[in-house]
């Protein structure tokens, strides 16, 4: 009996190796999930033991929500790390070149108008606002621990790798008006920029869950396709229902009117009112 061709033997060996690797990966993922579940169960038990006796009052949802992890608690997973109320994302879809380039950073004035970008500093309140808002959304939708009243604030330790917060300064430059400034989050390979923390929240949740390609795929308005309105996504993240009887302009298919700013000259004369009675 002739021996099988060498290429078939190689294919059979490669198939067996691939199956073995898949089984090892599946076993590692199962063990990691079991470890996370056991840790969360132990935390829930310890929280229940320390909790005071319940009072016969009607508590709000924020009061009955589980508290953030203790400051000494550390949860380290392949996708993220939690230390106390600080969340660190280990995965990123960012790229170094996906930020405003050198030309966009140069301040040029043309016909009395400017349009340029500059990075938002770490000590800027806007930077802290983004990280705290994202930490609250990640804790609520991934860890299952919403923010509680008078509790430690959830916070994202830093933006994913190659992500950065930039501020655009655009508008007319004169003595009476200051150009408009807006912060944007740059860095994603697939999204040009995110305008608000809630726009980026679903993308951050997707990163924290391991960037799955199916099932829990990214549900931000830029990744789902069709560019849906942000209102339903915001309602889902914050947990409230929309008023379906009053859809916004995007849902009605109307074009959004451009925002304009009326210039008010400072040297406009002020006339006194004449209170004299006519004869």
Report the percent of the chain where pLDDT is more than 70.
60
Task: Compute the average pLDDT of residues 119-142.
Answer: 95
Q: In the prediction, which pLDDT does 56 show? A: 35
Instruction: Specify the number of domains making up the chain.
Output: 1
Q: In the prediction, which pLDDT does 90 show? A: 95
Q: In the prediction, which pLDDT does 67 show? A: 53
Q: In the prediction, which pLDDT does 66 show? A: 54
| 260 within domain boundaries | no
201 within 8 A of 137, measured Cβ to Cβ: yes
| 67 within domain boundaries | yes
Q: Report the predicted TM-score, pTM, of the whole model to 2 decimal places.
A: 0.63
Is 70 exceeded by the pLDDT of residue 260?
no
Task: Compute the average pLDDT of residues 141-167.
Answer: 92
Note down the domain range covering 77. 61-238
CA distance 128 to 29: 34
Do the strands 86-89 and 155-156 form a parallel or antiparallel pair, or are they unpaired?
A: parallel
* Residues in Cβ contact with 177 at an 8 Å cutoff, skipping those fewer than 6 apart: 171, 261, 263
| 15 within domain boundaries | no
| 9 within domain boundaries | no
| 91 within domain boundaries | yes
Q: In the prediction, which pLDDT does 264 show? A: 52
235 within 8 A of 228, measured Cβ to Cβ: no
| 272 within domain boundaries | no
| 216 within domain boundaries | yes
Confidence category of residue 213, pLDDT binned at 50, 70, 90:
confident
| 32 within domain boundaries | no
Confidence category of residue 150, pLDDT binned at 50, 70, 90:
confident
Per DSSP (E only), the strands in the chain are: 74-76, 80-83, 86-89, 109-110, 113-119, 155-156, 164-172, 180-186
């Amino acid at each position: 009996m002739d021996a099988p061709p060498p290429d078939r033997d190689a294919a059979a060996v490669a198939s067996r190796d691939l199956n073995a690797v898949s089984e090892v990966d599946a076993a590692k993922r199962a063990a990691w999930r079991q470890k996370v579940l056991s840790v969360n169960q132990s935390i829930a038990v310890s929280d229940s033991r320390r909790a005071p006796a319940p009072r016969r009052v009607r508590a709000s949802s924020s009061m009955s929500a589980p508290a953030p992890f203790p400051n000494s608690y550390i949860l380290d997973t392949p996708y993220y790390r939690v230390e106390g109320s600080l969340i660190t994302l280990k995965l990123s879809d960012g790229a170094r070149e996906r930020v405003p380039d050198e030309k966009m950073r140069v301040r040029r004035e043309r016909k009395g108008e400017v349009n340029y970008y500059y990075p938002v500093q770490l000590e800027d309140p806007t930077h802290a606002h983004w990280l705290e808002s994202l930490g609250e959304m990640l804790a609520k939708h991934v860890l299952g621990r919403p923010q509680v009243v008078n509790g430690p604030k959830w916070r994202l330790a830093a933006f994913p790798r190659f992500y950065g917060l930039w501020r655009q300064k655009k508008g007319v430059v004169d003595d009476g008006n200051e150009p408009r400034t807006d912060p944007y989050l740059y860095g994603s390979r697939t999204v040009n920029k995110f305008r608000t923390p809630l726009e980026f929240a679903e993308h951050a949740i997707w990163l924290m869950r391991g960037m799955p390609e199916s099932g829990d795929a990214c549900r931000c308005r830029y990744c789902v396709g069709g560019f849906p309105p942000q209102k339903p996504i915001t309602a889902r993240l914050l947990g409230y229902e929309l008023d379906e009887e009053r859809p916004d302009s995007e849902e009605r298919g109307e074009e959004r009117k451009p925002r304009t700013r009326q210039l008010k000259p400072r040297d406009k004369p002020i006339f006194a009112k004449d209170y004299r009675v006519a004869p």
